Chain A
Amino acid sequence: MGGTGTSDTIAVRVWRGERHGGFQSFAVPRLANQTVLDVLRFIQRRLDPGLAFRHACRVGVCGSCAVRVNGIARWACRTHLDRVVRDDALELAPLDHLPAVRDLVCDLAPFFDQWTAAGGYFVPRPDADGFAAIAPESPARRAVEAGIECIGCGICYSECDTVGDRPEYLGPAALNRAWTLQNDTRDGARAARLHAVSGDAGCHACHSRFACSERCPKGLSPAASIAALKRQGVAALLGGTR
């Protein structure tokens, strides 16, 4: 599917420079089972050692390799060219909505700052005593399961129009993490976290456009987590527990 499969090279346009830069073209040999990360490594090793991009695990675990491939944010290491090459051409650009550092590298500090602002970290209950026994089949644990596999790649943040419109918006990944913690029965900061995600640029700023859920490489649904946070907020409001 996708590529013509007839040509033995592909024309790869790669973003060079910082915020003000331009695309540079490279001719890269087409190989079987080639990924976007393979293309980037080929360019760096053979054509231009100065090309900057991030990667570490190469197997979809660390979340460091996300770039925009033909305009859509994807994980480079697990994106096969067969799925994305059109007419033997490929365009690679840094993630959207994040400050550019160089070439395909952006500064993820704003992304992770939002995790902190959303209370996206575990706070042990004051009465925590030894190991907690969590039944794997319990509804709360299952709710955690739905969102826990986030690798922090920033793809949802790049794809979210609301993040683009309002940089102060907490964003899908941070809110998704907050929701997993709201279901963590060991956590002792759930009221404070619900408060933290209910601000002006919190979960209520989400338009439920589901771009995050559509693009998450791990198949998570941050949009569903955000909707659940909104419901929890209303429940707290009506229950008078705020």
Chain B
Amino acid sequence: MASQSRDQLWEPRLWLLQRVTAVALALWVGVHLITILAVGGAGLSAEQILGRTRHSAVVALFYGSFVLLAAIHGALGVRVLIAEWTPWRGTRRDGAAVLVAVLLVALGGRALWAVVT
């Protein structure tokens, strides 16, 4: 029973984080879709929608956490794929996954910034 302590401590934690973010994302995506359908049904114009999202703490909080959840979940998934599709392991693989997370936060953050400010 070989020991590689760092992995053994981290893998179950990352796996749990992946599962928890998956459950949260299911809820967030649900709310997001219902919102889209409701807004579409109400026939609001882009200007009217932006009028409601600007300076809205609810929108900022909901979509801010959405971006974070997606970034964590997506990066963890990519981390698994890196191990399966590339020879990268250890720091190189983890670094690449962190980069994906940062990229997702940046992209999502920019979109969020555009609708709340």
A199 in contact with B7 given A117-B2, A119-B1 (CB within 8 Å): yes
Minimum C-beta distance from B89 to chain A (A): 8
Q: Check A198–B1 contact: CB distance below 8 A.
A: no
The CA of A192 and the CA of B1, in the complex, are separated in Å by 7
The stretch that binds B, out of A29-37, A51-59, A82-90, A200-208, is: A200-208
Minimum C-beta distance from B44 to chain A (A): 41
Interface size class of B (residues with CB under 8 A): 10 to 19
**Which residues of A (180-195) have their CB < 8 Å from a CB of B?**
189, 192-193, 195
- Which residue of the partner chain, among B11, B14, B80, B85, contacts A202 with CB atoms under 8 Å? B11
Q: Check B12–A165 contact: CB distance below 8 A.
A: no
Q: Check B12–A233 contact: CB distance below 8 A.
A: yes
CB neighbours (8 Å) of B11 from chain A are 198-200, 202, 204
Cβ of B13 under 8 Å from chain A: yes
Q: Check A234–B12 contact: CB distance below 8 A.
A: yes
CB neighbours (8 Å) of A242 from chain B are 9, 12
Minimum C-beta distance from A40 to chain B (A): 34
CB neighbours (8 Å) of B9 from chain A are 242
Q: Check A205–B2 contact: CB distance below 8 A.
A: no
Chain A contact residues, majority secondary structure? helix
CB neighbours (8 Å) of A202 from chain B are 8, 11
The CA of A22 and the CA of B4, in the complex, are separated in Å by 41
Specify which of A119, A162, A198, A237 lies most central, judged by the most chain B CB atoms within 10 Å of its CB. A198
Minimum C-beta distance from B80 to chain A (A): 7
Q: Check A234–B80 contact: CB distance below 8 A.
A: no
Q: Check A237–B12 contact: CB distance below 8 A.
A: yes
The CA of A117 and the CA of B11, in the complex, are separated in Å by 16
- Which residue of the partner chain, among B7, B15, B80, contacts A230 with CB atoms under 8 Å? B15
CB neighbours (8 Å) of A195 from chain B are 1, 3, 8
Specify which of A201, A204, A230, A234 lies most central, judged by the most chain B CB atoms within 10 Å of its CB. A204
Cβ of A166 under 8 Å from chain B: yes
Cβ of A98 under 8 Å from chain B: no
- Which residue of the partner chain, among A162, A196, A233, contacts B1 with CB atoms under 8 Å? A196
CB neighbours (8 Å) of A201 from chain B are 83
A189 in contact with B83 given A198-B8, A199-B11, A233-B12 (CB within 8 Å): no
